[in-house]
Structure 1
Amino acid sequence: IAIIGVLVGLLLPAVQQAREAARRSSCSNNLKQIGLALHNYHDTFKSLPSASLGTSGGVGGSRIAGWVFIMPFMEAGTLYDLWDLNYGYDNSQNHPARAKPLDGYFCPSKPRNSRTSGNQAVGDYVFSAGTGHCNAADTRYWRGVFHQNSSIKFREVTDGLSNTIAVGEKCTEWASLNSPQYRWGWHTSRNMCYAMNKEVVPDAAYPHVDQNGTVVPGTSAVWNDRWANFGSEHPGGAQFIAADGSGHFVAENIDMNVYRNLGDKSDGNIAAFP
């Protein structure tokens, strides 16, 4: 029995590593499919989709995230057809559509009990806003390739498509204190894009669930105060796609200057993925 126990102890880590390698490969493929969808969208409409299109969110608002608009290029045209683009994500007309999860928006390494929360499908990938602000009205702060009501063209990414982050994984989730497992849906403006100014979510942020699944109360309910960052359940880092569609695993100890430069599309500080 002791020998069996030793063998199990030796084999279990190898089995776990093999399973994670398979999950990471599947996640990488998801991101590459998203990258291909973005390129096909650009070929069709001559610009990238907006991270969030519309003037306001919530009930009565018109805002819908760009994840909806690339669905026809993700072999999800049937789900796309359920959306009434005359209304925002929080209007009753779109409640049936927003509750339907899309496999390509999930990382298999992410533990979860459900693919929906609060009648909203969830997701594990976000657009990059660079070092600017996702919701900034002043276009001078549009440092990345995705922003609210943006329509960035590839020619505007002067630092190079291969040197600019387009999409990455998210680990931190926005949470309601009354519902610790609450996750904002991929279709909402709140999940449209992350900035790259900080390594971790600040204590003063909106209530959220950290990388360890712990609810962090925060001290502010103002959305403009929120600065989240990319992250994943993969050991050692997170996966990204560049604007050219190439996939990259970025280590958690990446130099922050390189990281920020990878986020900005045209600041002249050209950086290569390490």
Structure 2
Amino acid sequence: MRYTQRSRHGFTLVELLVVIAIIGVLVGLLLPAVQAAREAARRMSCSNNFKQIGLAIHNYHSAYNQMPEQGTGTGSATGGGGTNYATPGTVASPGGNSYNRLSFLVGITPFIEQQALWEQISNPYVTTGGAVYQAMGPLPSGSVANMDANPYTPWMTDIASYRCPSDPGRGLPSLGRSNYAACMGDATHSCSRENDAYEDSNGDTNSTRASYSSAAARGAFIYRKSTRFRDILDGLANTIMCGEIISDLGDNDIRSQIWTRGTRTASQWDTGGALRCRGAIDPDRPKFWNPSATGVGNLFANSEEVRGNKWMCGIVLYTGFHTILGPNTELCIHGNQHEEAIVSTSSRHQGGAHVLMGDGAVKFITDSIDAGDSNSAQVTVHNYLPPGSGSPFGLWGELGTRAAKEVLSGEF
């Protein structure tokens, strides 16, 4: 009787290792593509949010015949910082008004399907202790305990339409975060101070400071002054209305934490003024500040005063930007958040940031856009560049001005 042995078929160890290696290579090739697809989807979602904000601004203008105001609300000398408006940080309680600091993002809430939130903001606020306040403004320094005792829900709310999906920032010490800001033009003089109700610490009265603002406030938005589409003489399609910003993660990022050169000084508007903080950047990590840098000021220590952490506040640090330095550059301030600051657009997207044009179009501006002469003096009073001058900051500066009669010098 013949016996036949049945043959067995299978993979050898070498064949199995080759298959595993091929699968590993394919996964390695696929993952970056998946990540890129996810980022592309987040970037598209961010662009759609911006389009909704643009539509809301246009609907607001149709309803009220003006753009929403940057720096509005209620304000008085009582229940606040006294008669010297330059020191609002001395307020020891939430106060009875918003200090005229509300951003344009507050005004458009009814136009982005946030009517319920607007109803809370526009009605008196009754604390747990029974006190009645108007909608309070941004928290002054040292008042977090008061907010904990009497939390004001609207200012603590993250609105999805105001957040870029690519930005991971969440939670405290920020209040309601935002990734979209108003364009304040290509000069900083009195960018967050015009039309104050009181004389400031330098003795400048309303009329004096109004002359500063008239010369330097060249953007689509002017702090504490209403603007209309007809004021944008360069054309809505040629003028940036809003821009994207990141929110702070507490990591010394030069785009979200601000370096200060100390007290307010006019030299910030002169030649080289925009670059006075550049020496504080860590040379080994050029996207971060060097906390131990000496001779160039210091990193602002107040954890509340960072980029994108108060969507309701109209001060330029929180919801504004200038077209002086290009996108994703450092923040440089001369004094505190109530005074002039060099702040630009920024984003978590690779290579640039979104901007919203006056006609509602959303464009992606790259970091390499022509930003002219960063060492140039600014257009303002005090014998720097005279009022009416063309922007010295290239195509970027030209896009940020509403009525400088500039012919755009390049594509973007």
Normalised by the size of structure 2, how large is the TM-score? 0.58
Q: 1:217: which partner in 2?
A: none
Rounded to whole Å, the distance in 1 between the matches of 2:187 and 2:305 is 28
Q: 1:65: which partner in 2?
A: 103
- Deviations along 1:76-97, one digit per CA (max 9) or x if unpaired, are 1111111147444237688221
Rounded to whole Å, the distance in 2 between the matches of 1:174 and 1:232 is 14
Q: 1:231: which partner in 2?
A: 346
- C-alpha RMSD of matched pairs (Å): 2.6
Normalised by the size of structure 1, how large is the TM-score? 0.85
Rounded to whole Å, the distance in 2 between the matches of 1:19 and 1:119 is 26
Q: 1:75 aligns with which of 110, 113, 119?
A: 113
Question: How far has the Cα of 1:261 moved from its partner?
Answer: 0.3
Rounded to whole Å, the distance in 1 between the matches of 2:29 and 2:180 is 34
Q: 2:186: which partner in 1?
A: 131
Q: 2:231: which partner in 1?
A: 156
Is residue 242 from structure 1 mapped to residue 357 from structure 2 by the alignment? yes
Evaluate the alpha carbon distance shift between residue 250 and residue 222 of structure 1 in structure 2; reply closer, same or farther with a 3 A threshold. Answer: closer
Q: 1:265: which partner in 2?
A: 402
Q: 1:141: which partner in 2?
A: 216
Q: 2:143: which partner in 1?
A: none
Q: 2:202: which partner in 1?
A: none
Q: 1:121: which partner in 2?
A: 176
- Deviations along 1:3-24, one digit per CA (max 9) or x if unpaired, are 2221111111111110011001
Question: How far has the Cα of 1:180 moved from its partner?
Answer: 9.3
Q: How does 1:179-218 map onto structure 2 within 5 Å?
A: 179=303, 184-190=309-315, 191-199=318-326, 200-202=329-331, 205=333
Rounded to whole Å, the distance in 1 between the matches of 2:117 and 2:341 is 30
Evaluate the alpha carbon distance shift between residue 178 and residue 223 of structure 1 in structure 2; reply closer, same or farther with a 3 A threshold. Answer: closer
Partner amino acid, structure 2, of 1:135: S
Question: How far has the Cα of 1:146 moved from its partner?
Answer: 1.0
Pick the structure with greater CA Rg: 2
Rounded to whole Å, the distance in 2 between the matches of 1:104 and 1:196 is 24
Q: Which segments of structure 1 move beyond 6 Å, counting only runs of 4 or more?
A: 91-94
Rounded to whole Å, the distance in 2 between the matches of 1:38 and 1:48 is 6
Q: 2:256: which partner in 1?
A: 173
Q: 1:37 aligns with which of 24, 32, 56?
A: 56
- Residues 180 and 319, structure 2, Cα contact 8 Å, conserved in 1: no
Partner amino acid, structure 2, of 1:36: L
- Residues 71 and 100, structure 2, Cα contact 8 Å, conserved in 1: no
Determine what percentage of the aligned residue pairs are the same residue.
Answer: 33
Question: How far has the Cα of 1:111 moved from its partner?
Answer: 1.8
Partner amino acid, structure 2, of 1:67: L
Which runs of 5 or more residues in structure 1 are unaligned?
207-219
Q: How many residues get paired?
A: 258
Partner amino acid, structure 1, of 2:319: M
Q: 1:16: which partner in 2?
A: 35
- Deviations along 1:169-222, one digit per CA (max 9) or x if unpaired, are 0133247647599652111133231111123225x537xxxxxxxxxxxxx546
Q: How does 1:95-110 map onto structure 2 within 5 Å?
A: 95-110=152-167
Which runs of 5 or more residues in structure 2 are unaligned?
1-19, 76-84, 124-133, 140-146, 195-212, 247-254, 259-299, 372-393
SS at 1:241's partner residue?
strand
SS at 2:69's partner residue?
coil
Rounded to whole Å, the distance in 2 between the matches of 1:84 and 1:173 is 30
- Residues 173 and 303, structure 2, Cα contact 8 Å, conserved in 1: no
- Deviations along 1:105-161, one digit per CA (max 9) or x if unpaired, are 00001122x2x4336111111010011333252222220011211211111101000
Evaluate the alpha carbon distance shift between residue 62 and residue 259 of structure 1 in structure 2; reply closer, same or farther with a 3 A threshold. Answer: closer
